[in-house]
Amino acid sequence: MRVGIGYDVHVFGEQEDLILGGVEIDYVKGLVGHSDADVLLHSIMDALLGAMGAGDIGRLFPDDDPAYEGISSLQLLKEVKLLSFDKGFLINNLDAVIIAQQPKLADKIRFMEAKIADILEVDIARINIKATTTERLGFVGRKEGIAAQAIVSLNKGVDN
């Protein structure tokens, strides 16, 4: 069994859409980034790549590569999943937390879990997403951006 950790932060921008866990969230601001700035999926991909010993998303999808400009992070997650299949890994479980003062996300969490489980081709029971605030402290508390952390455990299924 292998574990990996991921962490990511994106800053809010006025002209952006807010997409978290592949789900569009209705909010006055969105996150700024080279791709769709899906901070949750980025932290999940980094956790998966970490567990595989395969670096991070910056190495896999360089942000100076025009191929990834505005790309859906669901598409990137699919590529990371294919890499994990190639290497013979199976997802045991994935746990992640979105750290945001606003917006409220409780009613969107199940949709994110469903989307992520679908892309990763695992049972939704293996995927757990949470959201928390920072009690108004720090950059998250000042609503300057959103952070996300993820941890994943993989089992080596077949030896590739």
Which residues of the chain form contacts with Zn ion (CB under 5 A)? 8, 42
Toward Zn ion, which CB reaches closer, 42 or 126?
42
Closer residue to Zn ion, CB minimum distance, 10 or 81? 10
DSSP at 11: E
Closest-CB residue for Zn ion? 42
Going across the sheet that includes 127-132, the strands are 30-31, 2-13, 145-156, 89-99, 127-132
What's the one-letter identity of residue 115? K
Q: Say how far apart CA 86 and CA 23 lie, in whole Å.
A: 27
Nearer to Zn ion, 76 or 105 (CB): 76
